[in-house]
Amino acid sequence: MLNWLKNQTLHNWSSAPIVNDGETIIDATAAQIYEKLDFATPLNAYSERGYVFGAGNPAYDIFEATDPGEPGKTLIFEVTEARPGKRYCYRTTIRDADADCPVIESSSEYTIIPQKDGRQLLHLQESSVLASGLNRHAYILERAKLNFSVFRTLARLRLHLELGTDLRDIN
């Protein structure tokens, strides 16, 4: 299971994408969940967290957003699949003044699965590519942060949809 930690001979720690996934049950409709994921809607979860969307190119499903906490970092989202109420997938790259960011790009795949009781199972799978040349310690740290990120993202969405919690307060 943790053989990747034991392989002391591997020098290029970031040679393969890191894949993490998680899921949660959300007491909301598929349309409500999709609305929080869709970058084209003003009720998108990133917008509600305070991200400022720039020009991008929405006609080609490309969106740009800046985190108010990191004004030098611009995230570029390219939507790769959008099936309302079912699936929302996008690729993220970073245009950053700080070139030391270890994550080069990532892709997120959200799948909404209806449950018999009217709730929805939201499954998230993220694949991330790290910069080459990371040492073992940095690689392990980034891998842990990426794993935690999946569960933090799902928890934010669930709290926001079920309790109406302001996402700016959940960092």
Q: CATH code at 118?
A: 3.30.530.20
Indicate whether 69 belongs to any domain: yes
Indicate whether 71 belongs to any domain: yes
In the chain, % of residues over pLDDT 90: 50
Indicate whether 45 belongs to any domain: yes
Indicate whether 158 belongs to any domain: yes
Q: What is the pTM of this model?
A: 0.86
6: pLDDT strictly greater than 80: no
Phi, psi of 148 (to 5 degrees): -65, -35
Distances (CA, A) of 163 to 11, 156, 159, 167: 46, 10, 5, 11
Instruction: Supply the range of the domain harboring residue 150.
Output: 19-165
CA distance 73 to 95: 6
Indicate whether 9 belongs to any domain: no
Indicate whether 4 belongs to any domain: no
CA distance 59 to 77: 13
Indicate whether 140 belongs to any domain: yes
8: pLDDT strictly greater than 60: no
Indicate whether 151 belongs to any domain: yes
Average pLDDT in the 65-90 region? Answer: 91
Domains in the chain, number: 1
